[in-house]
Every structure is written in C-alpha cells, then in structure tokens.
Amino acid sequence: MKPVAIFRHTRTEGPGYFASFLDRHSIPWTLVAVDEGATIPASPDAFSGLCFMGGPMSVNDPLPWIPQLLSLIRQAVDKDIPVIGHCLGGQLMSKALGKVVSRNPAKEIGWHEVRPTDTAEARAWLGETDGFDAFHWHGETFALPDGATRILGSDACTNQAFVLGDRHLGMQCHVEMTEEMIRTWNTQWADEVSDPANPPASVQKSEEQLAQMATNLPAMRAMSDRLYTRWIAGLRQN
C-alpha cells in the first residue's frame, strides 16, 4: 500500500493519536513537515490518502504553501483519494472546495460536547452516540462544501465535522489529541486561556482542561477509532 501523507503545519500540532492509530493498523505513513519547508507534492498520486493537521495560522493568510495544499486537496477529491482534516485541515478542505472560512462567533477552547446530526451519514461514521466531549482550539470556522453533509456540531460552532461522499472527512475539533499535546498547547498559548476579562463559556481554563483529560481522552479516542476506522477503509490499496 502507498503511504498516507500527513501534512504538519507547525511543530506542536503533529499527527498525535492519528499516527498511533495508523501504526496499530500497519498502515504506512510519511510526514510532510510544511513548517520545516518540506516540498509539497504536486500530485496526490503517490499516496493512499492525505491527512492535514492543525495550526495557529488562518487558511486566509498569504502563506505561499496554502495555494499548493488547496490544489492538492482538489486533485485528491477529484481522484477519490481519501482526505481527512483536523481543525486547520478541515478549513483547508472547505476552502479548497470553494467555500469560505471565517471568524467563529466565539473562540472555542478546551473540552466541549459535540453532537451528531440526525443523518444517515452521521450514524455511519459515528454509530449511535448522542455526543461526546471533543477537544477544541480555534477561532475560525468553515462553511460546508457543496455536496457535503454535516455530521457534528457544538453549542459554540455549528459546523464541527462534515463528510463528502464516503471517503472524505473534515473536522473542526481535534480528535487526534494526546496528553502531551494538550499540556504543550496550554503552555505555548497560555495567554488565550488565562485572560481575566470574563472569557466566554466556550473558552475553558487550563486547569479545567487538564483535570478532565483522564476521563475525556479515553472517551474521545473511542470515537477517534471509529472515525479513523471508517476513513482508512477507503484508502487506495495500490
């Protein structure tokens, strides 16, 4: 099998649990470290699927590599090569497919419940769950691509995840998180969660995030496993 290409846009937002999942299922993968100036492939043909991680930048920023990634996503969708996006990655998918990424009504940071839509697609990807606490760290949101179906939403952000066909999954939430990543982000971006000026309910303070890890990480990983299992079922075999 050709490898899955994982695109990392900043060092502290690596593949996390997604890479562990692929390793456990003996699926080869290769890291494209965009943050280190790695060459972005001109075509998706060398890969069985494409995965895009998060990042603190906006897809609307004038960064030279963003148009290259948008082109790569469009090619992959046209060729039915599976694409999965986490947070910034989901936003890249939306923009590549002709939609707008804009400021969310409020920042959403920490553990917050996401709930499935009442659709056949949501049940196919998520099972019969009523919802689960996912991890979030974003201030922007994506619009749904034409033909896509929303499968998750939250109180602070309507579009938490969409599927396009049966191979492509774009997410606003971070289901790939590990304990180390959560601790790192809360150190690196401490100012975003320590503002004393009455932060919105959708911004959770560091101590709350860390206290809830022991309960929420295992539960979220159960849903990550379900989402990732369905996604890898569509990977190209040759």
pLDDT in tens, 220-238: 999 999 999 999 999 988 7
Query: Based on C-alpha coordinates, what's the Rg of the chain?
Result: 17
pTM over 0.95: yes
Q: Which of 154, 153, 149 is nearest to 200 (CA)?
A: 154
Q: Where are the beta strands (DSSP E) in the chain?
A: 4-8, 29-33, 49-52, 83-86, 101-116, 132-142, 149-153, 161-164, 168-171
Positions of the chain with pLDDT under 70:
195-198
The pLDDT, as a whole number, for residue 237 is 84
The pLDDT, as a whole number, for residue 238 is 76
Within 10 angstroms of residue 141's Cβ, the number of other Cβ atoms is: 21
Which CATH code is given to the segment(s) 4-232?
3.40.50.880
Give the model confidence (pLDDT) of 22-62 as tens digits: 999 999 999 999 999 999 999 999 999 999 999 999 999 99
User: What CA–CA distance (Å, rounded) separates 8 from 140?
Assistant: 19
